[in-house]
Amino acid sequence: MRMDTLRERYGRPIYLNSAYRCPEHNNNVSGTGLDGPHTTGKSVDIRVYGEDAHRMLLYIVELGFTGIGVGQQGEHKKRFLHIDDLEEGTRPWIWSY
């Protein structure tokens, strides 16, 4: 539901780099192992950069997503924002890659 609201506020298509991952794939590509947030369906990585990333970040915070990872280095086509909706641990939380 909240992802739909984010898309509506953003007003443009949202391109996902990653959404649900099976535990084995997540273990191969992430330090979160077999049970990271992508294995629960509660997180996505959105391909976005620059001014669009700034605008999207504002909407993400307004909508109350509990985790925000900022990957904004390197080639533009590889930049992203990770968002999740986890309840356990220290939340809300923001980090960079």
pLDDT at 19 over 90: yes
* 87 found inside a domain: no
- What total of structural domains would you count in the chain? 1
pTM, two decimals, is 0.91
Six-digit token string for 34: 């077999």
* 86 found inside a domain: no
* 67 found inside a domain: yes
pLDDT at 3 over 90: yes
Angstrom distance (rounded) from CA 41 to CA 20: 5
Angstrom distance (rounded) from CA 91 to CA 85: 9
| Mean pLDDT (whole number) for 11-33 | 95
Instruction: Provide the domain limits for residue 53.
Output: 2-81+92-96
| Mean pLDDT (whole number) for 42-56 | 97
Cα dihedral 27, 69, 18, 24 in deg (nearest 10): 10
Band of pLDDT at residue 1, cut at 50, 70 and 90: confident
